[in-house]
Amino acid sequence: MYSIFSKKNILNLVVLLAALCVGKFCHVDPLIAIGLFAGLTAFSDISPRTTAYADRRLLERAKINNLLDQFGQVRVLPKKASQTIIFRRYNKLDSTPIVLQEGVTPTGKNATKTDVTAVVKQYGDWVGYSDVIEDTLEDPVLQEFTDMLGDQASEMYDKVYAGVLKAGTNVIYGNGAARTDVNTVIGDAELQSAIRVLERQEAKPIRGIVKAGPNIGTNPIPPAFIAVCHSDLRKDLEALAGWTPVHKYASSEGLINGEAGSAGQFRFVFDNNLAPWADGGGAKGGTISTTGVSSDVYPVLVFGKDAYGTVPLAGKKAVSTVVNNPKSITGDELAQRGSIGWKGWTTAVILNDLWMVRIEVAATAL
C-alpha cells in the first residue's frame, strides 16, 4: 500500500522545508534554494539568443588569462579545416659576399622554407543548471558562470602549451649537468648563458605580442627576450642585478599580461601553470622542496621571436559556447536541467629549439 509517510516522501519533505527556510531567512529565491538542495547549480534558463553573448564574454575572459599564447607564432584554425595545421618558417639566405661584375647577372638564390606540422585537439567542459527561469542577458549568475568557464578554458589551454614548451631540448642547469643536480637559484650567470646561446643562433628579440581580446592582432613592445616562470621565483628574481619591478617602469605602455619585471635584455612573466618538477633536483638546502629532501626544480622558459607556434584563444572559431536549455527528454521528462559549456581546438608546437632556452633552477624557501 502506498503511504505518504514513506522514507522517500519524508526525506523530500525535509529537503523542501529546509530549502524554503533558507529562502526566507537568507533572502534567496525559494526555487533557487530548492535547486541548490537538490544538488544542482541553479540559475536562470539561457535562451538561444544569449549564446553569442556568452561566447563573446567567455572568449574575452579566457584571452585575458592565457599567458603563453602571447609570444608565439599564431595560426588561426579555419572553418572546416583538417586537424593538421602547418607553421612555416623561411630559412636565412646565404650571405657570402658576391662581387658583381659589369654586365654579368649573378646567379640568384632560391628561397627555402621549413614546415612544421602540428595536430590540433579538441578540449572543453560544461556545468549544469536547473530550470529557474529568468531570461535576461544581464543575469549576473550567467555572467559568473561564463567567466568561470572562461577562466577554465584559458588555464586548460595554457597547460597544454606549457606541457609542449617544457619539453624543449635547449637546456641550461642552474648547477651540475642534469636536473637531478639542481639545487641553486637563478642568477646573472644563467641569464648571460641564455643570452649567449640565443644570440649565437641569431634568435631575434620579441617586438610584438598577441594582444588580449577576441580578435587576432599584435601590440608592439620594446625588443626583449621573454622569460616565463612560476611566481615562486619572485624573491630570487628581485635579487638579480638590475632588476626593475613592473611598477617602477617609466611608462605603462607596452606592458605584457602577467609581467613581473625586467633585468637586462629579459622581461619576466609569471605563469603558475609552469609547475616545478617536485623533488627533481639535488639536496634541498635552503630551497623549496615538496617532501623536504630534494629541491623542486623550476623551469624558466626564455623565448626569442618565432620560437614556437600556437592556435590561440582568439578569432571567431577559437571557442564555441554550447548552451542547452531545459527540454523534455528521456530521463528529464519535466525539463528541469540544462547546461552551459565550451569547446575549442588548439595545439602548440616548438618551431625552432635553438631560439628558446629552458633554464632549470631551484627557488629560495621563505
b/e per residue 196-223 (b: at least 16 CB within 10 A) = ebbeeeebebbeebbebebeeeebebee
Query: 160 with 348: CB under 8 angstroms?
Result: yes
Query: 303 with 327: CB under 8 angstroms?
Result: no
Q: Report the mean per-residue pLDDT for the chain.
A: 81
In this prediction, residues 194-207 reach a mean pLDDT of: 95
Please write the tens of the pLDDT for every residue from 138-195.
556 667 778 888 889 889 999 999 999 999 999 999 999 999 999 999 999 999 999 9
Write down the pTM of the prediction: 0.78
Could you tell me whether strands 84-90 and 308-310 are parallel, antiparallel, or unpaired per DSSP bridges?
unpaired
Is 59's pLDDT higher than 70? no
C-alpha cell at 167: 619539453
Going through the chain in order, the beta strands assigned E by DSSP cover 73-74, 84-90, 113-119, 121-130, 171-173, 206-210, 218-229, 244-245, 259-263, 266-270, 298-303, 308-310, 320-324, 337-346, 348-350, 356-361
Domains of the chain by residue range: 9-37, 40-74+120-366
Which residue has better confidence, 19 or 271? 271
Which residue has better confidence, 132 or 38? 132
| CA angle at 210 for the pair 205 and 215, rounded to the nearest 5° | 160
The pLDDT, as a whole number, for residue 339 is 82
